[in-house]
Amino acid sequence: MSDEAMKYSNPQWRETLSSMEVPLAVRSSKIALECLETLVSEGRLSFDQGVELMKEKEISSVTSLANMVKKSRFSKHVFFNENLHVNSTNICVLACRFCAFRKGPRHPDAYTLNTDQYLDRIRPYSDSIDEVHTVGGLHPTWTVNEYCQLFSSLKEEFPKIHIKALTAVEIKHLSTRSSLSIEETLSILSMSGLDSLPGGGAEILVDSVRDRICMGKESSDEYLDIHGIAHSLGMPTNCTMLFGTIETIEDRITHLLRLREQQDLSGGFQCFVPYPFLPDKTRLPEAQLSSGLETIRMISVSRLMLDNIPHIKAYRMNIGDKLASFAINCGADDLDGTVGHEEIMHEAGSKTSLTTSSEQLARMIVKTGSVPVKRNSSYSKFETIILPEDKPIKSLPVVALGV
Ligand code: SF4
């Protein structure tokens, strides 16, 4: 961890946690107290504890404990970045049942961006972003060459922009299409400018669920292996969970434990992004859906189970700004970014504004009693945001962190 990163996170968070005042909501819950004791004694929450947290009637005990852990790690800091989503193509050879984004090649709304179109999307934002997030469908004819062309052109014109692109299943698809190993595929893409992988496509890492909601996608093992290989090449990644389809509570906890195990092995997950299924225009009528409170609970339980993945994101593109703001005091420490343009969640029904500026994001964070911190994509550079009329918000001194 860089010196600067150390100013914004607390490696001794368990020690800090042990000295924090325990809220009544946590004290009143047998399972929350038990989990607190496990965490302060250097332990990790078990599968059974995770399931119990998901079933605890008093949800405030779970959210309060998650808030304690978040504060022990990051104090009042909440992170965001200035980014832009640009989808490369919506043409996909698969047809995941929860996906409202993909189109068949002959659909009137099908598209693929060529290099000029890709750069044209980025140019209007280039002064105000430091990350481009690019994912897309599994194009039937594209190989690594098309993506190398996009990424190298982007880097040539905007060398300082971080490229976070291509989910694990896209990497698998490109490696097959290009007759390359996963390692070769990632190395070639990295040389052309790819900096990190997003976490999309994890859905639920239980193959019996995957077979029903996203038949043909990479298996759970393949998802984890691809991320592990990226980590071994020095490429950081995120990880995600799509919940509220057909999975059980036990499946969700299994998913978290599989990510935790992978992180023990390869260590390159920066951020976990749990988000609920949005049903618009999809083909999953049997989905159980997730209420707002269940979404918050899932974010809280993720914070508690994933002791080795530092950041938990409230993905406001999916859950909306109000719920994302609420999640800040329930375990989330990251709000994604300015985003600018987003198709995947909006095709599925998201109404989240796409014109939120950095200042508006910072204001949203301040309203929750937190301190907004702009970060870069690798969480190695930070800037505490001081809003003009919200004095006295200031950068916190190092000694104040972790309390
Ligand atoms: S989720 Fe991804 S892989 Fe599945 S249909 Fe949609 S674009 Fe294709």
Residue-wise pLDDT tens for the chain (403 aa)? 777 788 899 999 999 999 999 999 999 999 999 999 999 999 999 999 999 999 999 999 999 999 999 999 999 999 999 999 999 999 999 999 999 999 999 999 999 999 999 999 999 999 999 999 999 999 999 999 999 999 999 999 999 999 999 999 999 999 999 999 999 999 999 999 999 999 999 999 999 999 999 999 999 999 999 999 999 999 999 999 999 999 999 999 999 999 999 999 999 999 999 999 998 877 899 999 999 999 999 999 999 999 999 999 999 989 999 999 999 999 999 998 787 777 777 787 788 777 788 898 999 999 999 999 999 999 999 999 998 865 544 443 333 333 2
- The terminus-to-terminus CA distance of the chain in angstroms comes to 19
Distance 150 CA to ligand 1 centre (A): 20
Burial class of residue 204 (count of CB atoms within 10 Å of its CB; 0-12, 13-18, 19+): buried
Q: Which atom of ligand 1 is nearest to the CA of 136?
A: 7
Cα–Cα distance measured from residue 32 to residue 52, given in angstroms and rounded to the nearest whole number = 9
Distance 137 CA to ligand 1 centre (A): 6
Q: Is 284 in the pocket of ligand 1 (CB under 6 A)?
A: no
Same domain assignment for residues 229 and 357: yes
Among protein residues, the one whose CA lies closest to atom 2 of ligand 1 = 137
Question: Which residues are CB-contacts of 174 (< 8 A; sequence separation ≥ 6)?
Answer: 142, 143, 144, 147, 166, 180, 185, 189
3-state DSSP call for residue 313?
A: strand
Q: Is 169 in the pocket of ligand 1 (CB under 6 A)?
A: yes
Q: Which atom of ligand 1 is nearest to the CA of 98?
A: 1
Same domain assignment for residues 84 and 20: no
Same domain assignment for residues 366 and 255: yes
Residues found in the chain: 403
The pair of three-digit structure tokens given for residue 268, joined into one six-digit string: 């390159």
Q: Which atom of ligand 1 is nearest to the CA of 99?
A: 6
**Number of domains the chain is built from:** 2
Same domain assignment for residues 59 and 141: no
Distance 330 CA to ligand 1 centre (A): 30
pLDDT of residue 402: 30
Question: Domain boundary residue among 45, 73, 101?
Answer: 73
pTM: 0.94
3-state DSSP call for residue 190?
A: helix
Which residues are registered as beta bridge partners of 375?
A: 382
Same domain assignment for residues 108 and 239: yes
Same domain assignment for residues 94 and 8: no
CB 90 within 8 A of CB 137: yes
The pair of three-digit structure tokens given for residue 247, joined into one six-digit string: 């999975």
Question: Domain boundary residue among 55, 73, 91?
Answer: 73
β-pairing, 382-384 vs 371-375, is antiparallel
Distance 146 CA to ligand 1 centre (A): 19
Cα–Cα distance measured from residue 394 to residue 100, given in angstroms and rounded to the nearest whole number = 43
- Nearest 5°: the CA angle 17, 71, 224 is 90
Q: Is 93 in the pocket of ligand 1 (CB under 6 A)?
A: no
Distance 173 CA to ligand 1 centre (A): 11
pLDDT of residue 390: 54
Cα–Cα distance measured from residue 395 to residue 126, given in angstroms and rounded to the nearest whole number = 27
3-state DSSP call for residue 211?
A: helix
Same domain assignment for residues 152 and 227: yes
Distance 224 CA to ligand 1 centre (A): 18
Among protein residues, the one whose CA lies closest to atom 4 of ligand 1 = 96
Same domain assignment for residues 58 and 103: no
Residue 320 Ramachandran class (φ > 0 left, ψ -120 to 50 alpha, else beta): left
Q: Which domain, by its residues, includes 16?
A: 3-73
Cα–Cα distance measured from residue 36 to residue 108, given in angstroms and rounded to the nearest whole number = 54
Question: Domain boundary residue among 22, 57, 73?
Answer: 73
pLDDT of residue 397: 36
Distance 99 CA to ligand 1 centre (A): 6
Same domain assignment for residues 352 and 254: yes
Q: Which atom of ligand 1 is nearest to the CA of 95?
A: 5
* Best of 102, 103, 222 for a ligand 1 pocket test (most atoms within 8 Å of beta carbon): 102
Q: Which atom of ligand 1 is nearest to the CA of 170?
A: 3
Distance 305 CA to ligand 1 centre (A): 28
